[in-house]
Structure 1
Amino acid sequence: TDGFIPASNMKLLTTGAAVSVLGPDFVFRTEIAIDGRRVIIRGDGDPALADPEILRNTEPRMTVEDFLETLTGAIADKLPDGCSEIILDDRIFDREFVHPTWDRNDLNKWYAPEVAGLNFHGNLLAIFASPAPEGVGTPPRLTMQPRSAWIQIANRAKTVAKGSNTYWPSRKSDANSFTLFGNVRTTAPTPLNTPTHNNPLLFGQLLAERLMRRGIAVGNETRPRLKPPAAVRLADPDETLPEGELAAIITTPLQEVLNRCNTDSINLYAEALLKRIGHEVTREQGTWDNGASVLRMTLEERLGSNAAITTIIADGSGLSHSNIVTPLTLTGWVESFALDETLREPYLLSLA
């Protein structure tokens, strides 16, 4: 049978491999630890960390600001006299945030965020635009989530009296510097989401900013400024970091990730799962390559060598046009889970 580009059907393969390799009871675990006066944040590749959709469904309901304040409070309790630096340990995955075969035109779109070992807020900035009170022709009012003093949005959009909302963002590829273009007529009910850059570092910078707002120094800085906090960094490639004393743990059950991946078709979730199974089997940094190898190995185990040989795996979500899967493989794969007493329920439960 001929192979086809699977698009979002690729997620059926990725989620199946994830539940096979990680096991249905797997839980993502992000840790915030204190070592002396240092804060170490250890990522587990969890794509759901501060995902606004998941926060909205927690009890009690939370916003991203609530989430950040909760973590900031946990750190402040341990380090009331200030912290020397915040270290983001995202090394469970490599730092290839963007797949080389993704269409460059997709990279400003909400469905193609960067992928990291420490994800945050879906790796998106939510921009809320409303017509300016000053009237037609003037720049619209903008707010954003998460809020920050130093994330810049150059506002080239304008308020209009006729037509519809036609505004869109662009971002410099290697910075959190945005420009908004187009027309704003009405306040939209939902935000415009656009991908952010280097999300592990961004997460740490946002926490540092909120610590300073509480009067807690981070490095030599005591108040937020119009540039990112200086004493925040990624872990060096070969750096050995101590376990430290736990200040907070954030967990996400695999089932929640499978559901959001298959039911809502969120690409970040699929990519994080692919890299996470790569790490799980190799115990090295999760990459698109080793994740693809583990997926191919799982295909062979479940369906035989022909399915593995005829499938081309580029990414986990289907955003890449380089993936190739035959219809026979896809149907056989889903059927193999329907017949699997252990994995049937978690897998089929995640399907829309």
Structure 2
Amino acid sequence: MSQVNLRRISIFCTLAIASFAFGDLQNEVRKIVSRTDLHKGNAGIYIIDTSTGEAIVDIDANDGMIPASNQKLLTSGAALHILGSDFAYRTQLFYHEDDLILVGDGDPTFGDMELAGLTDWGTERQMLAEEIKPWVKAVFDTGVKEIETLWVDDRIFDQNFIHPSWPSDQINNWYCAQVSGLNYHLNVFHFFPYPNKGTTASLGSYTPVMPWVTINNRTSSKTGKGNKSSFWVARSPNSNKITTRGNVKSKHTVPVKVAFHDPAIVLGETLAATLRLNGISVGEVKRVPETNQASTEYLGSGAELLFLRETPIAHVLKRSNRDSHNLYAESLLKRLSASATGRSGTFDEGAKAVANIVAQRLGSVQRGLSPSDGSGMSRKNSVSPKTLARWLASFQLSEPVGKTFLESLATPGNGTLRTRFKKLPLEGVTVHAKSGYILGVSSLSGYIVFDNGREPIAFSIIVNNVKGSIKNAKAMQEQIIAITIQTLLN
């Protein structure tokens, strides 16, 4: 028998064995789903071999489902597709005719102290001062002692800071922070209250320091045995009028957070206040009108670039996907919108761009796909597990974009997977994945990467309509990954 025929027989046998194994895996996964109490929830599962495009498991995976934070996989992948793995956010400070102009690019990292390596909240204020110091030094080194106006230019994004379908009762929470072309301190206040016996509690060293912000302290400070801590913070709509309420029984060592309003103005006022402390007079802080020309044109040839801050997209992707930070994902969405349209980035145009990029990479408009926001907070997002797994498979991990995408995901023991897969035998493989949760929804999508050089497996497991705890849904997801690894390694 010829060598060619032997090779054909070998390939045929290999495919037949693989097909048999995949059939067994499909049945085993069905058994796992059927014996799991999902509290009236429904699951969709799609697992794909990235080398062949063959579906290994396909269970109720064709219809659109709410992905929760798995939406970030679409957003971040689309941002990489359109911006590239070498992209960097560029925030610029110009001096022009007695004015300073701070030009934003949508960078969400400025003032993110956890990203900067914060390990002790007690040092946050000092770390914030260090982060803004280079900007102040750049102005100080010019010898200028008086600034007429500090302009903030956040027009890389529109001024619709909040997505219209986010829960209206949660928009002051840190995870619904406003999304701006200039961001600072994750666009949230941090409060560290401590008790004053028998009086109103002290608000402590809240950050960022903003003396121009109105704070109405209505707290109590009762420290008796029968008293409890109940401190909370509210912000009036479309303003930075803060009211603190509740009781402070003991010192808070981790921050109580509330989203602030209009991040670009907050950053501008913070920079102006710091300049004044360093002997430089600053007049008003104003926003560059939306009707103005592009920054490079209205500044004119006499503008002097004083400082440039660059943030590689990889840093933003990791905070979005590994840590599931919503502001980062929304900043990616609006930034890819700005690049796609040449106009101020918006939620709507970003969502349209994501859908178009998915169709482009997968070859057709996808059934059940309807992006709404970038982070997955919106319940109007819809994507099928099949589309999401195929989307992951479309990124060749040997290419720069695919490598950057993979490295942005959490692995067991870190990020949002720090408590997941503790009982999973991971010898010979690494799971890179993104988890997701909003009320009634649990999702897990990502890759199984093999140490032996086998091409990765991409998967998406989404559960919707859970009427109770998602604990069983999460356990089911991990069991499915475990049986998949066991089947493919044997």
Of 377, 380, 383, which aligns to 1:319?
A: 377
| Cα distance in 2 for residues equivalent to 1:183 and 1:101 | 32
Label 1:234 to 1:301 Cα distance change in 2 as closer, same or farther (>3 A).
Answer: same
Alignment pair present for 1:160 and 2:213: no
Preserved CA contact (<8 Å) 1:35 1:245: yes
Query: Which position in structure 1 is the counterpart of 2:64?
Result: 3
| Cα distance in 2 for residues equivalent to 1:185 and 1:139 | 9
Give the alignment's TM-score, normalised by structure 2.
Answer: 0.66
Q: Secondary structure at the residue paired with 1:337? A: coil
Higher relative contact order (Cα pairs below 8 Å, separated by 6+ residues):
1
Preserved CA contact (<8 Å) 2:189 2:260: yes
Query: Which position in structure 1 is the counterpart of 2:193?
Result: 129
Alignment pair present for 1:281 and 2:340: yes
| Cα distance in 2 for residues equivalent to 1:320 and 1:40 | 34
Preserved CA contact (<8 Å) 1:85 1:218: yes
Of 194, 198, 203, which aligns to 2:258?
A: 194
Q: Deviations over 1:29-87 (max 9, x none)?
A: 100011121101110011112212123369xx971122223312221222532111001
Query: Which position in structure 2 is the counterpart of 1:17?
Result: 78
Preserved CA contact (<8 Å) 2:214 2:240: yes
Give the alignment's TM-score, normalised by structure 1.
Answer: 0.91
Equivalent pairs, count? 336
1:259-338 residue pairs with structure 2 within 5 A? 259-307=318-366, 309-338=367-396
The alpha-carbon deviation at position 292 of structure 1 amounts to: 1.1
Query: Which position in structure 1 is the counterpart of 2:276?
Result: 212
Query: Which position in structure 2 is the counterpart of 1:63?
Result: 127
Query: Which position in structure 1 is the counterpart of 2:92?
Result: 31
Of 153, 177, 202, which aligns to 1:140?
A: 202
* Runs (5+) with no aligned partner, structure 2: 1-61, 411-490
| Cα distance in 2 for residues equivalent to 1:339 and 1:26 | 18
Provide the aligned C-alpha RMSD in A: 1.8
Alignment pair present for 1:183 and 2:247: yes
Query: Which position in structure 2 is the counterpart of 1:151?
Result: 213
Q: Deviations over 1:109-164 (max 9, x none)?
A: 111100011111111111111122xx145323432111121222211122232455
Alignment pair present for 1:349 and 2:421: no
With 67-76 and 257-266 compared, the bigger mean Cα shift is at 67-76
Alignment pair present for 1:119 and 2:176: no
The alpha-carbon deviation at position 193 of structure 1 amounts to: 1.7
| Cα distance in 1 for residues equivalent to 2:369 and 2:268 | 39
Query: Which position in structure 2 is the counterpart of 1:242?
Result: 299
With 66-75 and 170-179 compared, the bigger mean Cα shift is at 66-75
Preserved CA contact (<8 Å) 2:96 2:299: yes
| Cα distance in 2 for residues equivalent to 1:165 and 1:349 | 40
Preserved CA contact (<8 Å) 2:276 2:282: yes
Amino acid in structure 1 at the alignment position of 2:112? D
Alignment pair present for 1:49 and 2:113: no
Amino acid in structure 2 at the alignment position of 1:298? I
Preserved CA contact (<8 Å) 1:28 1:254: yes
| Cα distance in 2 for residues equivalent to 1:114 and 1:338 | 34
Q: Deviations over 1:255-299 (max 9, x none)?
A: 000000001111011111001011111111111111111111110
| Cα distance in 2 for residues equivalent to 1:57 and 1:253 | 20
